[in-house]
Structure 1
Amino acid sequence: MDTTRLTAVLVGAAVGLLAGVVLWRWLRTGAYRYATDEPRSRLERSWAVVPLAVAGGAVAGLEPWSLTAAAGVYLVGGAALVWIDLDTHRIPDAVTRVWGPLVALALVVPAVVTRDWAVLGRAAVGVLALGLLFAVLAFFSMGVGDVKLALVTGLVVGPLGVTGVVTTLVATCLVAALMAVALLLRGAGREAHLAYGPALVAGVAVALLVPA
Structure 2
Amino acid sequence: MHGDLGPTALLVGAVAGLLAGVALWRWLRTGAYRYDTDEPRSRLERSWVVVPLAAAGGAVAGLTPWPLPAAAWVYLVGGAALVWIDVDVHRVPDAVTRVWGPLVALALVVTAMVTGQYGVLWGAAAGALALGLLFGVMAFFSLGLGDVKLALVTGLVVGPLGVTGVITALVATCAVAAAVGVGLLLRGAGRKAHLAYGPALVAGAAVALLVAT
Distance in 2 between residues matched to 1:154 and 1:65, nearest whole Å: 17
| Structure 2 gaps, min length 5 | none
Matched, 1:11 2:12: yes
Q: How many residues align?
A: 211
Name 1:169's counterpart in structure 2.
170
Name 1:43's counterpart in structure 2.
44
Correspondence list, 1:174-193, <5 A: 174-193=175-194
Name 1:116's counterpart in structure 2.
117
CA RMSD of aligned residues (A): 1.3
Name 1:131's counterpart in structure 2.
132
Q: TM-score under structure 1 normalisation?
A: 0.97
| More divergent stretch after superposition (83-92 vs 178-187) | 178-187
**Alpha-carbon distance change, 168 to 4 in structure 1, aligned in 2, over 3 angstroms:** closer
Name 1:80's counterpart in structure 2.
81
Q: TM-score under structure 2 normalisation?
A: 0.97
Correspondence list, 1:142-161, <5 A: 142-161=143-162
Distance in 2 between residues matched to 1:4 and 1:189, nearest whole Å: 45
Is the contact between residue 159 and residue 166 of structure 2 (CA under 8 Å) also seen in structure 1?
Answer: yes
Deviation digits for residues 74-117 of structure 1, max 9, x if unmatched? 00000000000000000000000010011001111011121111
Is the contact between residue 13 and residue 55 of structure 2 (CA under 8 Å) also seen in structure 1?
Answer: yes
Distance in 2 between residues matched to 1:194 and 1:102, nearest whole Å: 27
| Structure 1 gaps, min length 5 | none
Is the contact between residue 14 and residue 59 of structure 2 (CA under 8 Å) also seen in structure 1?
Answer: yes
State the percentage of identical aligned residues: 79
Distance in 1 between residues matched to 2:97 and 2:4, nearest whole Å: 35
Q: Which runs of 4+ in 1 moved over 4 A?
A: none
Correspondence list, 1:28-67, <5 A: 28-67=29-68
